[in-house]
Amino acid sequence: MGGTLDTAGQQRAAGSGSTAQRGWRRLDGRIIWVVVLGGAGIALVTLAVMWWREAPWWLQAPVPVPVLAVIGYEALRWMKTRYRLTAEHIEVKTGLLVRRHRSIPRQRVRSVDVMAHPLQRVLGLATVQVGTGHRVGSAKAAVLSLNALSRADAEALRAALVRRAGEGEQETIARFDRRWLRFGPMSFATPLLGLSAVGAVYETLDILGYDPDGVLIPALLDWLGRADLLAVVAIGAPALLLVGAAVALGWYVETWWDFRLVREPHGGLRASRGLFIARSATLEEERLHGVEIAEPLLLRVGGGAYTYAVATGAGGAEEEASTFNTSALLPPAPIGESHRVAAEVLCEEENPARAAGLIPHPRQAWARRVRWALLAAVLAGGVPAALGVWLWPALVHAGWVVALVTCGAGLLFAWDAYRNLGHRLTDRYLVTRHGSLKRRTIALRRDSVIGWTVTQWAWHRRSTLCRVTATTAGGRSAYHMKDVLMSEGLVVVDEAAPGLLTPFLSGRRREARDS
Amino acid sequence: MMISDARAEPALRPPSRSVDRRAIGWWLAQALVTVLPPVLIVGLLALLILPARRWLLLSAAIVGVPGLVYVLVMPGWRYRVHRWETTPEVVFTRAGWVRQQWRVAPMARIQTVDTIRGPLQQLFGLSTVVVTTASAAGPLKIEGLDQRLAEDVVADLAAKAQAGRGDAA
């Protein structure tokens, strides 16, 4: 696609001479100031640390060189980059050595994201990313990026690209609520963040030349040797958690502050958010295929949930962990709010992903999870036990304790995971739920399903336990009904996509399915 | 309950057409290419490094025995599982060996149809037909077709996909 459009653009540019030059615009000149300020900041910090550690002059002297190089590069990039918006296309010409002309038909534009990091915000700039939703090569190839325009230009470009016929009022669907802050630390990441804060302190001390390995840690160990270990743990562990919770809270604030989800006059959904880094993403309504409610275990215990859109060109597997997941419809928020927003986004009375009336999965699915839990226990306990027989008898005891604990925890998870399994077909949606550490409930529009997959392990042939997957053109692309009996799964497929499977079902089908 | 009535359970029948018999040879060659190099290298080291011979032979066995089972079992098993079928409305495939996958894609949703021929496949005169839909969940593949048949299948599918889309529009 890119190749043909390239040549077409070049021919047009060559053929019509000066008229083709019309409409081409530069990026905002202040992008050079971004790197000047950023580079100067980094250089100053580096020099300060070097001065503090009394580095020789020949180490300090070259510090500005890369900074100057980057500034020069940015200035060249600014000079060499042009963009324009025509009636049919958004076009960008860029590149220092290899000139590149990208052109995206405006009707192919599926998302327009505007974001600004702190320096850009100070200077009144914003980066615009135009997505087509087509991931032919990498995710990057599907995006045309303008780094950066003035905030007003960025906003105007965004409005021009997403505007369809009709003006009207924006309708606010959801707005950030400070009480949601409590969901920030409800994550397994909290203790890890506490530990990483300790790591960051260590790293800083090391850079500043305090030699923590040689001085601080021996002193700490020395002190620990004399202190009451129980008290140290009793104070240290909560302190660590507290620090972790503070970091998690800060992270939540930075990511979700001022969140707003609005329906624009033409029907697109726009989510904007962020404290230091402002981000905004627009989802076109016609590429919305459903919603997903994701509940990581701790968040679920606290009554909260993530809400995502299943949409073309957003929320792929690689995007889920990133801070700027363009498919997010809400911050981690109370589950009731999550259902309300999901229902409103889909324009339904009630969120179809509300779990009521899900068909539970067969007991074979429970048996399978129990087998996994037992296997995990045998492995976790067996390895130390075997080593114990061979090397050190005390390990044998460690082995059976570990096995028992793993078995208990594993069975609890197995039970939870089994109870969470479920699926249902409504008149417009396929609803499916699975997972324990992260429970996902997905409601997928039936007419968005573009294919079906049935996956079965050879040893499940007799029990006919299998996984039925609906594939779609967005989100994580494949949504599973995990561990259903093949007959149940096929009944769902046959009803969701009438006639599709009929020629391939083996003879002995019941005459009336609803009998 | 619905499940209790065994005779009423719908089940998927296998797709009607099997792949080319030469595919067994191709899968065997693939398996050998995967398994042999590590075993041979460790075996060679065992010949050369006398003090560690026992351990090297042990590790060669740890890789080699499952590898041997894989080489002996996988190709024939795959040949029995891999099947395909096209109708005017859909492409229907079954693939895998221990983990088997049935896949259905309606013609109207097909975006591209290609063939791929890896170097080993070319030796055996085989092709893989790759059918992509708009989903990023991975294309449908019909592996191990005779090259000429694969060309025909691609032409046929492309025509049907075009027709299907025309109806849908």
Q: Does A228 share its domain with A292?
A: no
Q: Give percent helix, percent strand, percent coil of chain A, each to the nearest 5.
A: 50, 25, 25
A195 in a structural domain? yes
Confidence band (pLDDT; 50, 70, 90) for B166?
A: low
- With CA atoms as reference, report the closest residue to B109 among B68, B58, B160, B147: B160
Higher-pLDDT residue of A143, A301: A301
- With CA atoms as reference, report the closest residue to A191 among A229, A129, A238: A238
Query: Looking at residues B46-74, what average pLDDT do you find?
Result: 90
What's the gap in Å between the CA of A488 and the closest CA on chain B?
8
Q: Are A132 and A142 in contact (CB under 8 A)?
A: yes
Q: Does A371 share its domain with A296?
A: no
DSSP string, chain B: -TTT-GGG---BPPPSEE--THHHHHHHHHHHHHHHHHHHHHHHHHHH-STTHHHHHHHHHHHHHHHHHHHHHHHHHHHHH-EEEE-SSEEEEEEESSEEEEEEEEGGGEEEEEEE--HHHHHTTEEEEEEEES-SS--EEEEEEEHHHHHHHHHHHHHHHHHHHHHH-
* CB pair distance less than 8 Å for A456 and B106: no
A108 in a structural domain? no
What's the gap in Å between the CA of B53 and the closest CA on chain A?
22
ipTM reported for the complex, 2 dp: 0.88
What percent of chain A is predicted at pLDDT more than 70? 89
Higher-pLDDT residue of A381, A413: A413
Residue B102 sits at φ, ψ, to 5 deg, of -95, 135
Residues of B in contact with A311 (CB under 8 A): none
How many Å apart are CA A403 and CA A409, to the nearest integer? 10
A16 in a structural domain? no
Confidence band (pLDDT; 50, 70, 90) for B167?
A: very low
- B positions 20-79 inside 8 Å of A (CB): none
Residue A95's pLDDT is 82
Residue A165's pLDDT is 46
Query: Looking at residues A321-327, what average pLDDT do you find?
Result: 74
Q: Are A330 and A337 in contact (CB under 8 A)?
A: yes
Higher-pLDDT residue of A215, A92: A92
Please give the structure tokens belonging to residue A121.
Answer: 């915000």
* CB pair distance less than 8 Å for A458 and B2: no
Residues of A in contact with B97 (CB under 8 A): 458
Residue A11's pLDDT is 40
* CB pair distance less than 8 Å for B11 and A487: yes
Please give the structure tokens belonging to residue A283.
Answer: 């989802």
* CB pair distance less than 8 Å for A500 and B89: yes
Query: Looking at residues A139-143, what average pLDDT do you find?
Result: 56
A341 in a structural domain? yes
How many Å apart are CA A290 and CA A269, to the nearest integer? 13
Of chain B, the end-to-end C-alpha distance in Å amounts to 41
Residue B41's pLDDT is 92
A359 touches chain B (CB under 8 A): no
Residue A507's pLDDT is 53
* CB pair distance less than 8 Å for A505 and B10: yes
- The one-character DSSP state at A137 is S
Amino acid sitting at position A426: T
Q: Does A333 share its domain with A209?
A: no
Q: What contacts A256, CB < 8 A, 6 or more positions away?
A: A176, A180, A273, A274, A331, A332
Q: A34-37: list long-range contacts, CB under 8 Å, 24+ apart.
A: A34/A74, A34/A119, A34/A120, A34/A123, A34/A125, A34/A148, A35/A70, A35/A71, A35/A74, A36/A71, A37/A119, A37/A122, A37/A123
Q: What is the pLDDT of residues B119-161, one digit of tens each?
A: 889 999 999 999 988 777 778 999 999 999 999 999 998 888 8
B89 touches chain A (CB under 8 A): yes
* CB pair distance less than 8 Å for B12 and A486: yes
Please give the structure tokens belonging to residue B59.
Answer: 């590790």
A350 in a structural domain? yes
Q: Does A343 share its domain with A429?
A: yes
Residue A324's pLDDT is 72
How many Å apart are CA A397 and CA A414, to the nearest integer? 25
Confidence band (pLDDT; 50, 70, 90) for A19?
A: very low
Q: Does A348 share its domain with A214?
A: no
Residue B6 burial class via C-beta count within 10 angstroms: exposed 0-12, middle 13-18, buried 19 and up: exposed
Residue A398's pLDDT is 83
- With CA atoms as reference, report the closest residue to A429 among A470, A485, A482: A470
Specify the number of domains making up chain A.
3
Higher-pLDDT residue of B3, A234: A234
The model carries a pTM of 0.78
Q: Does A291 share its domain with A344?
A: yes
Residues of B in contact with A491 (CB under 8 A): 2, 10
Q: A85-88: list long-range contacts, CB under 8 Å, 24+ apart.
A: A85/A23, A85/A157, A85/A160, A85/A161, A86/A23
Q: Does A506 share its domain with A407?
A: no
Residue B78's pLDDT is 95
Residues of A in contact with B92 (CB under 8 A): 504
Q: Does A425 share its domain with A344?
A: yes
Confidence band (pLDDT; 50, 70, 90) for B93?
A: very high
A501 in a structural domain? yes
Higher-pLDDT residue of A356, B61: B61
What percent of chain A is predicted at pLDDT more than 90? 37
- With CA atoms as reference, report the closest residue to A39 among A75, A81, A69, A77: A69
Q: What is the mean pLDDT of chain A?
A: 84
Confidence band (pLDDT; 50, 70, 90) for A6?
A: very low
Confidence band (pLDDT; 50, 70, 90) for A477?
A: confident
Confidence band (pLDDT; 50, 70, 90) for A2?
A: very low
How many Å apart are CA A20 and CA A109, to the nearest integer? 22
Please give the structure tokens belonging to residue A328.
Answer: 């997010």
Residue A323's pLDDT is 67
Confidence band (pLDDT; 50, 70, 90) for A21?
A: low
Tell me the range of A230-234, A337-341, A398-402 where mean pLDDT is highest: A337-341
A508 touches chain B (CB under 8 A): yes
Higher-pLDDT residue of A323, B91: B91
Q: Does A504 share its domain with A449?
A: yes
How many Å apart are CA B103 and CA B110, to the nearest integer? 13
Distance between alpha carbon A416 and the CA centroid of its chain, in Å?
25
Tell me the range of A126-135, A175-184, A209-218, B7-16 where mean pLDDT is highest: A175-184
Query: Looking at residues A118-125, what average pLDDT do you find?
Result: 89
**Closest CB from A455, A500, A504 relative to B101:** A455
Side-chain-facing half-sphere of B131: CA atoms under 13 Å: 31
Domain of A250, in residue numbers: 183-256
Residue A394's pLDDT is 79
Q: Does A222 share its domain with A326?
A: no
How many Å apart are CA B69 and CA A330, to the nearest integer? 51
Confidence band (pLDDT; 50, 70, 90) for A14?
A: very low
Amino acid sitting at position A86: T
A446 in a structural domain? yes
> Which residue, of A401, A420, A439, is where some domain finishes?
A420
* CA-based nearest residue in chain B for residue A494: B10
**Number of residues written out for chain A:** 515
Residue B8's pLDDT is 59
Residue A138's pLDDT is 45
A240 in a structural domain? yes
Q: Does A343 share its domain with A459?
A: yes
Residue B33's pLDDT is 93
Please give the structure tokens belonging to residue A179.
Answer: 């009480």
Amino acid sitting at position A441: T
Query: Looking at residues A481-496, what average pLDDT do you find?
Result: 91
Residue A174's pLDDT is 92
Amino acid sitting at position B50: L
Q: What is the pLDDT of residues A198-238, one digit of tens each?
A: 899 888 888 887 777 777 788 888 888 787 888 888 888 89
| Helix or strand (DSSP H, E) at A51 | helix A31-52
Query: Looking at residues A498-513, what average pLDDT do you find?
Result: 67
- With CA atoms as reference, report the closest residue to A273 among A332, A197, A350: A332
Q: Does A215 share its domain with A282?
A: no
Residue B53 has pLDDT above 90, yes or no: no
* CA-based nearest residue in chain A for residue B131: A451
What's the gap in Å between the CA of B113 and the closest CA on chain A?
14
CB pairs under 8 A between A and B: 111
